[in-house]
């Protein structure tokens, strides 16, 4: 075991070194690249996203572009976006002029790590296509598999199914078309695994192949066991390839192959040995698999079931009194209930870390929808998708669509119950894992109940450091080019802006703010303030309101999608836990009196200047959240000396004037801006003025999420600057004092 462990660690380290060498080559810039489209491209209107394997990149410069890009990118995998192209298909060979940059993602605790995802997928650069020429449309080798998957996907789309996106995910492993609302519903209800082709589906296909092999042996003659095993391996292997060769598929196929091999050899395959063999095979084939949440969820679920049921068989045989017994139960219903309870309890710590919340109805929902998907939806979808020459195949897919619709109705009902945030961190996570492992063992009922109670207490009681009375903690989330700031007092929380929304339908409210709130243990918001209506500030408000209970909403100007928002007006003042909040601007909702220092000549106020300006005063510190106000508003504000300043308008030259800084004299200044944004925020002049004011400066684009506390008013904690994973590199100067 020690030799195997050291060999595996060495293999993984060598693989990491190799990928680091490619990623460290800085495949960044604009130039001509030649290669093939791999996997399944995703189309949305006239926009295509696809992975591109660079096979050749000529050394000659294109349009005056520096030639080194060609050499650095040879053999690399990049992810591209292309506007306006008519079609992109798997296996096509293109000559492209593309602009590439490093796959830099936002960094927030408890939130999806895009940099990790790109490293896991082997993507060393992302970018967009400027122009391209199709060189070869014919697929070669394994590309025929992706071309076949693409054809099945288009056939499913052509039937006009109501839930074609889910059917595509279950048949060819293409979940890219799932909208953010659907993904959010599956994630909240703890049923995200239903959108992934699971090992249970592979087992179902293997069983069908085994029966077909035995039927052939019965009709034509021959060894039934051998033909059954060959049929199972052939059919399940084909399904794994057409399903995209996902991690759970490979794991299930290896386990099935090991069991069938033992059957052919006349030897019993011990479950734990098959389990260990599958894990070793997956890690050998894909050393980066542990970066995938599916690796932990898949192997943890199977391991938990083995750890729970195997010792109970022995206890039942020995007849020891006072111990929890039982194998698979006396009925199918009992077995199904027991399996769901085991998976829910054993995977609770893993789910808490990877997802950040647990839905109280998840075991009950899974008890109904897992059999529905496994024994009704998936067989109908597979038969209809992979047997297009059968006339009723379209009707089979329609039947699968009806099954998905029934499942969606159940999930919508369960989604009315809010999930419980699980802010597990540090040693609490280790203790929670130990309690889950203890619960799996065949211990006494008293011990089992105690372990389950302790696990629930650890998962649902926040273990973050409390905010003292009279103090405040401010967290500026890293949401790209936008703003989202959480303000916490001893017992209450306020969210100032909710990040941007995007043309793809995604928004930072759902992808960043809500997971970050779950991680911090913020189950509800006393107040949500949308500084003004620009999409980089208010784009995520609707998603936050759907996912988190909010007491009230204030807005600097009317929000079309939030009817309940009240106007944020100067003069509003309240106190929470010894901390005072004051609104300094605007005087009216979108307008000011004529002739005042804040207004334009006609009294109308542009959107930026309608921003709600919030002053926070603790026992000994002051913080200001000014939105996107510009100089004319700054001139009319009476700002006291500040300990914390959220730099207005992401560091634009239209704001943060010298007179304003002379009055504010901030000790700490935080810029909320996107990495390599097209506005060049923050502007060099603004940064120079902040340095001239002797402020400690942090930019979320370089530092990730930034946290400040009035208890230590001169200290900033930057998410990217902590001892993070090996692929995360802070920008130069981002982690300085």
Structure tokens that stand for 407 in this block: 């499942």
pLDDT band at residue 116 under the 50/70/90 scheme? confident
Which region among 381-390, 481-490, 635-644 has the lowest average model confidence (pLDDT)?
A: 381-390
Judge whether 424 and 432 are in contact, CB under 8 Å.
yes
Distance CA 614, CA 529 (A): 9
pLDDT at 286 over 90: no
Q: What is the DSSP string of 600-637?
A: -TTSB--TGGGPPEEEEE-SS-EEEE-TT--HHHHHH-
Q: Strand 357-358 vs strand 77-83: parallel, antiparallel, or unpaired? A: unpaired
Count of helices and strands (H, E) across the chain: 26, 22
Structure tokens that stand for 561 in this block: 């999608």
Judge whether 240 and 249 are in contact, CB under 8 Å.
yes
Which region among 50-59, 474-483, 570-579, 696-705 has the lowest average model confidence (pLDDT)?
A: 50-59
Structure tokens that stand for 290 in this block: 């542990």
Question: Angle 597-600-602 (CA atoms, 0-180°, nearest 5)?
Answer: 125
Distance CA 17, CA 723 (A): 19
In this structure, the chain runs to a length of 737
What phi and psi values does residue 200 have, to the nearest 5 degrees?
Answer: -65, -40
User: Residue 434, class by beta-carbon neighbours within 10 Å (0-12 exposed, 13-18 middle, 19+ buried)?
Assistant: middle
The confidence score (pLDDT) of residue 634 equals 93
Highest-confidence range of 58-62, 127-131, 389-393, by mean pLDDT? 127-131
pLDDT at 93 over 60: yes
pLDDT at 602 over 50: no
pLDDT at 611 over 90: yes
pLDDT band at residue 21 under the 50/70/90 scheme? low
pLDDT band at residue 734 under the 50/70/90 scheme? low
Contacts of 643 (CB under 8 A, 6+ apart): 621, 622, 623, 666, 667, 668, 710, 713, 714
Which region among 62-71, 104-113, 237-246, 685-694 has the lowest average model confidence (pLDDT)?
A: 62-71
Nearest to 511 by CA among 498, 493, 527, 495: 498
Residue located via tokens 């997802």: 355
The pTM of this model reads: 0.83
Distance CA 392, CA 396 (A): 6
The confidence score (pLDDT) of residue 326 equals 45
pLDDT at 18 over 80: no
The confidence score (pLDDT) of residue 597 equals 36
User: Residue 729, class by beta-carbon neighbours within 10 Å (0-12 exposed, 13-18 middle, 19+ buried)?
Assistant: middle
Q: Is 603 left (phi over 0), alpha (psi -120 to 50) or beta?
A: left
Structure tokens that stand for 40 in this block: 């399944």
**In sequence order, what are the beta bridge partners of 78?**
52, 125
The confidence score (pLDDT) of residue 495 equals 98
pLDDT band at residue 323 under the 50/70/90 scheme? very low
pLDDT at 320 over 70: no
Distance CA 471, CA 207 (A): 62
pLDDT at 321 over 70: no
The confidence score (pLDDT) of residue 1 equals 79
Structure tokens that stand for 45 in this block: 């209107």
- State CA 286 to chain mean position distance: 21
Q: Which residue has the higher pLDDT, 312 or 170?
A: 170
How many other CB atoms sit within 10 Å of the CB of residue 379? 19
Average pLDDT over residues 576-604: 64
The alpha helices in 48-137, defined as continuous H runs, are: 68-73, 114-121
pLDDT at 65 over 80: no
Residue located via tokens 């779950």: 518
Q: What is the DSSP string of 444-512?
A: BHHHHHHHHHHHHHHHHS--SPPPPTT--EEEE---SSS--EEEE-SS-EEEE----B-TTS-BHIIII
Q: What is the dihedral of CA 393, 395, 397, 399, to 10 degrees?
A: -140
Residue located via tokens 């995802």: 117
Distance CA 36, CA 77 (A): 10
The confidence score (pLDDT) of residue 591 equals 46
Distance CA 285, CA 295 (A): 13
From first CA to last CA, the distance across the chain in angstroms is 46
pLDDT band at residue 599 under the 50/70/90 scheme? very low
Long-range Cβ pairs for the range 462-466 (8 Å, 24+): 462/421, 462/423, 462/520, 462/521, 463/423, 463/424, 463/425, 463/426, 463/428, 463/521, 464/423, 464/425, 464/520, 464/521, 466/490
Judge whether 328 and 335 are in contact, CB under 8 Å.
yes
The confidence score (pLDDT) of residue 474 equals 97
HSE-up of 183 (CA within 13 Å, CB side)? 16
What phi and psi values does residue 142 have, to the nearest 5 degrees?
Answer: -65, -15
Helix (H) or strand (E) holding 124: strand 123-136
Q: Which residue has the higher pLDDT, 588 or 609?
A: 609
What phi and psi values does residue 617 have, to the nearest 5 degrees?
Answer: -125, 120
**In sequence order, what are the beta bridge partners of 496?**
485, 529
Structure tokens that stand for 258 in this block: 């090991």
The confidence score (pLDDT) of residue 66 equals 45
pLDDT band at residue 64 under the 50/70/90 scheme? very low
The confidence score (pLDDT) of residue 633 equals 94
Helix (H) or strand (E) holding 582: strand 579-585
What phi and psi values does residue 538 have, to the nearest 5 degrees?
Answer: -105, 0
Which region among 122-136, 189-203, 507-521 has the lowest average model confidence (pLDDT)?
A: 189-203
The confidence score (pLDDT) of residue 503 equals 78
Highest-confidence range of 56-70, 354-368, 652-666, by mean pLDDT? 652-666
Nearest to 247 by CA among 197, 304, 205: 197
Average pLDDT over residues 98-117: 88
């Amino acid at each position: 075991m020690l030799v195997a462990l050291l060999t595996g660690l060495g293999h993984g380290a060598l693989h990491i070194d190799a990928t680091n060498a490619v990623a460290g080559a800085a495949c960044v810039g604009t130039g001509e690249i030649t290669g093939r489209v791999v996997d399944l491209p995703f189309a949305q209107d006239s926009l295509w996203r696809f992975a591109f394997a660079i096979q050749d990149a000529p050394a000659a410069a294109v349009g005056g572009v520096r030639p080194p890009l060609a050499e650095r990118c040879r053999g690399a995998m990049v992810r591209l976006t292309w506007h306006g192209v008519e079609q992109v298909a798997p296996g096509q060979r293109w000559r492209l002029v593309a602009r590439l940059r490093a796959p830099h993602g936002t960094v927030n605790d408890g939130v999806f790590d895009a940099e990790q995802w790109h490293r896991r997928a082997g993507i060393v650069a992302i970018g967009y296509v400027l122009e391209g020429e199709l060189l070869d449309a014919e697929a070669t080798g394994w590309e025929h598999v992706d071309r076949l998957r693409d054809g099945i996907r288009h056939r499913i789309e052509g039937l006009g199914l109501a839930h074609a996106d889910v059917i595509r995910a279950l048949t060819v492993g293409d979940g890219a078309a799932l909208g953010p609302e659907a993904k959010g519903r599956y994630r909240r209800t703890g049923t995200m695994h239903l959108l992934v082709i699971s090992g249970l589906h592979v087992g179902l296909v293997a069983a069908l192949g085994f029966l077909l092999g035995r039927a052939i042996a019965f009709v034509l003659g021959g060894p039934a066991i051998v033909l059954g095993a060959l049929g199972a391996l052939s059919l399940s292997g084909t399904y794994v390839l057409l399903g995209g060769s996902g991690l759970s598929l490979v794991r299930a196929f290896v386990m099935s192959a090991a069991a069938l091999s033992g059957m052919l050899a006349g030897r019993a395959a011990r479950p734990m040995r098959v389990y260990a063999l599958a894990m070793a095979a997956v890690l050998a084939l894909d050393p980066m698999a542990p970066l995938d949440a599916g690796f932990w969820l898949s192997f943890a679920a199977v391991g938990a079931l083995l750890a729970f049921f195997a010792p109970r068989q022995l206890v039942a045989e020995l007849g020891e009194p006072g111990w929890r017994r039982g194998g698979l139960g006396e009925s199918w219903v009992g077995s199904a209930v027991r399996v769901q309870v085991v998976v829910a309890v054993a995977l609770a710590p893993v789910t808490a870390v990877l997802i950040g919340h647990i839905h109280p109805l998840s075991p009950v929902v899974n008890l109904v929808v897992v059999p529905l998907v496994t024994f009704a939806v998936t067989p109908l979808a597979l038969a209809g998708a992979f047997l297009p020459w059968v006339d009723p195949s379209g009707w089979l897919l329609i039947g699968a669509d009806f099954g998905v619709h029934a499942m969606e109705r159940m999930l919508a009902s369960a989604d009315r119950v809010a999930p419980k945030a699980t802010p597990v961190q540090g040693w609490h996570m280790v203790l929670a894992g130990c309690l889950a492992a203890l619960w799996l063992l065949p211990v006494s009922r008293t011990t089992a109940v105690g372990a389950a109670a302790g696990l629930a207490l650890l998962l649902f009681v926040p273990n973050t450091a409390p905010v003292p009375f009279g103090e405040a903690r401010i967290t500026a989330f890293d949401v790209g080019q936008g703003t989202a700031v959480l303000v916490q007092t001893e017992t209450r929380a306020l969210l100032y802006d909710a990040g941007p929304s995007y043309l793809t339908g995604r928004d930072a409210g759902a992808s960043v703010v809500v997971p970050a709130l779950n991680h911090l243990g913020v189950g509800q918001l006393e107040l949500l303030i949308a500084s003004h209506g620009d999409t980089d500030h208010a784009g995520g408000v609707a998603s936050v309101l759907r996912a988190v209970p909010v007491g009230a909403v204030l807005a600097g100007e009317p929000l079309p999608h939030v009817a309940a928002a009240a106007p944020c007006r100067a003069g509003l003042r309240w106190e929470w836990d010894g901390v005072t909040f004051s609104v300094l601007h605007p005087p009216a909702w979108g307008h000011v009196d004529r002739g005042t220092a804040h207004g334009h000549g006609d009294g109308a106020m542009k959107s930026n200047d309608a921003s709600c300006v919030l002053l926070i005063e603790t026992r000994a510190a002051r913080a200001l959240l000014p939105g996107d106000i510009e100089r004319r508003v700054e001139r009319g504000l009476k700002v006291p000396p500040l300990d914390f300043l959220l730099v207005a308008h992401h560091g634009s030259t239209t704001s943060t004037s010298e007179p304003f800084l002379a009055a504010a004299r901030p000790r700490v200044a935080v810029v909320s801006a996107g990495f390599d944004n097209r506005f060049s925020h923050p502007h060099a002049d603004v940064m120079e003025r902040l340095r001239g004011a002797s402020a400690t400066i942090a930019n979320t684009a370089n530092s990730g999420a930034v946290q400040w506390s009035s208890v230590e008013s001169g200290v900033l904690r930057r998410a990217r600057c902590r001892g993070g994973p090996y692929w995360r590199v802070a920008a130069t100067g981002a982690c300085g004092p």
